[in-house]
Structure 1
Amino acid sequence: MAIYNLGSVNIDHFYTLPHFPTPGETLHAVDHSFGLGGKGTNQSVAVAKAGADVFHVGAIGINDKWVRERMESYGVNTTYVSGMDAPTGQAIINIDAAGENTIVLLAGANVKQDADVILNAIDNAQQGDTLLLQNETNLQDHAARFALVKKMRVIYSAAPFDVDAVAKVISDVSILVMNSIEAAQLTSALGVTLDNLPVPQLIVTLGSKGAMWRSNETGEVLEVSVPKVTPVDTTAAGDTFIGYVAAGLDKGMSIKDAMEWASRAAALKVTRKGSADAIPYAQDVEAFSS
């Protein structure tokens, strides 16, 4: 089994701040660093560090060879990562004293995906493989439609939230993943409740309160908690969770076991500064849980 991820690739710039700036305020950063990120890359790295096979489908600037090499160093297969005459995506991540963050994105090469590359990647997938999607690239709806033809599991993160993007892809999604704010935005925009969303399964992440899964086919609901930790940086926590859930399901875990494993991984992640580079390996999660 394998996981294919049509996802963004970003170069993340982290600025540690005493507090988030108010309009018109000039604020001195306490620290700066940069590394590998993007919702897509974070999820692919999480899958790889969890021990599952993952093929990233994406695009980077032709001069950012180090980005591809860093992804590969974590076990991500970059066969379907294209070099583009466009900048690699950029993210400016401000982190306050409580570990919360605000993010400004430049899409760059992420929204210049090549349909032929995507279709070629999915065409090489097998029945039962998984396709991960988020809202930081183009062509998600095309990828999801083809993945269902291949009888793949499609896990879609409705983030950054865009109701039009969700509407285009939701009919071809196996598991819809949102945080509580995105869930409220989507149900309000569509005028429905969670149990009326046209998707077989959904997961709502609840931050420090854990996560909820619901089957809209059977009405079954389950909740998982998250270990109590002192957060240092919440960047990529949700992506860590989703990557570990996808890896767990790929390994044959039940949805409950996969979500509990993923919750521990996400909790460990927020105790570390950074995004993709700071996502824990499976052995770290096991040690953290014991």
Structure 2
Amino acid sequence: MAIWNLGSINADIVYSVPHILAPGETLSSTGRAIYLGGKGANMSVAAARAGAQVHHIGAVGADGIWARDRLLEYGVDTRYIETIGDLTSQAIIAVADDGENTIIIQPGASTLIRLESVQAALSEAHTGDRVVCQNETNLQVETAALAKQMGLKVAYAAAPFSAKAVSDVIEFIDFLILNEVEARQLTEALGKTPQELGVRDVIITLGSRGAEWFETEHGIHKTFEAYKVEPVDTTGAGDTFTGYVLAGLDRGQPMEQALRTANRAGAIMVTRKGAADSIPDLHEVQTVRL
């Protein structure tokens, strides 16, 4: 089996700050670094490092060839990453001393992906493969609809959050993952809780408190506690969690096992700086003591 990820690819420009800025506040940073990031890239790296075969569908600008090459180094198939225009998507990230962050996204090439690229990629998919989308690219609805038509399993990570984006893809997906703030916003916008949307598997991440899983077909509801660690940088933790869950399911793990493994991966990841470059591999997740 394989995972096909219509995903963003960012250059993450990360500034270390004493605390998250208040409106109107100016701060001097205590450090600056550039990493591979983007929700899509993070998920592809996480799934690949968790042992899945991952194909990334996306785009970079002429300034982002290094990002495509870095994905390849992590074991991601990059044949369907095009070079479009001059500007790779960017994220300007401020990370506070307590590990919390704020992020500004400059969309760039990730919003210029061609439908022909998606169609060419998915023409190689097989029954049982999984397709995942997030809200940092174009063509989410078209990709989810095509995947559904092909009989593939379709997952959607509802971030950056837009109730309309979720509503537009909801009929095509069987796996929805979002955090508790997004879940509340979705309920307010649509008048339904996430588990009332007709999606078979719904995961709500709870940050340092773990995650909830709803399997709506049989009415299953389980909570999974997070590991207690001292966070250094929470950027990409949710993406790491998602990538590991999907990789576990792709390898045939039951949802409970995939979620526990993903919890461990996320806990390790937040003790390191950076996004995609800080994601642990499966051996680390299985052996590091928490």
Q: Which runs of 5+ in 1 are unaligned?
A: none
CA contact (8 A) 2:179 2:206 kept: yes
Compute the RMSD of aligned alpha carbons.
Answer: 1.0
Cα distance in 2 between the residues matched to 1:28 and 1:180: 32
The equivalences for 1:14-53 within 5 A come to 14-53=14-53
SS in 2 for 1:120: helix
The equivalences for 1:207-218 within 5 A come to 207-218=207-218
CA contact (8 A) 1:123 1:150 kept: no
Match of 2:98 in 1: 98
Q: Following superposition, which runs of at least 4 residues in structure 1 exceed 4 angstroms of deviation?
A: none
The equivalences for 1:3-82 within 5 A come to 3-82=3-82
Match of 2:226 in 1: 226
Cα distance in 1 between the residues matched to 2:161 and 2:22: 24
> What do the CA deviations read for 1:37-95 (whole angstroms, capped 9, x no partner)?
00000000001111111000000002322111111111011000010014100000101
Letter in 1 for 2:66: W
CA contact (8 A) 2:195 2:202 kept: no
Letter in 1 for 2:184: A
Match of 1:270 in 2: 270
> What do the CA deviations read for 1:88-115 (whole angstroms, capped 9, x no partner)?
0000010111100000000000111100
Task: Give the TM-score, by structure 2 length.
Answer: 0.98
SS in 2 for 1:268: helix
SS in 2 for 1:103: strand
Letter in 1 for 2:260: E
Cα distance in 1 between the residues matched to 2:85 and 2:187: 39
Match of 1:189 in 2: 189
CA contact (8 A) 2:4 2:54 kept: yes
Match of 2:165 in 1: 165
Equivalenced residues, count: 290
Cα distance in 1 between the residues matched to 2:86 and 2:187: 36
Cα distance in 2 between the residues matched to 1:272 and 1:121: 33
Deviation at 1:289, TM superposition (A): 4.5
Q: Which runs of 5+ in 2 are unaligned?
A: none
Match of 1:140 in 2: 140
Cα distance in 2 between the residues matched to 1:287 and 1:107: 37
Cα distance in 2 between the residues matched to 1:16 and 1:260: 30
Task: Give the TM-score, by structure 1 length.
Answer: 0.98
> What do the CA deviations read for 1:203-260 (whole angstroms, capped 9, x no partner)?
0001111111111221111121121100000000000000000100010000000000
Letter in 1 for 2:190: L
Match of 1:112 in 2: 112
Deviation at 1:198, TM superposition (A): 2.5
Identity of aligned residues (%): 47
Cα distance in 2 between the residues matched to 1:50 and 1:23: 39
SS in 2 for 1:19: coil
Deviation at 1:23, TM superposition (A): 2.6
Letter in 1 for 2:179: N
SS in 1 for 2:121: helix
Letter in 2 for 1:194: P
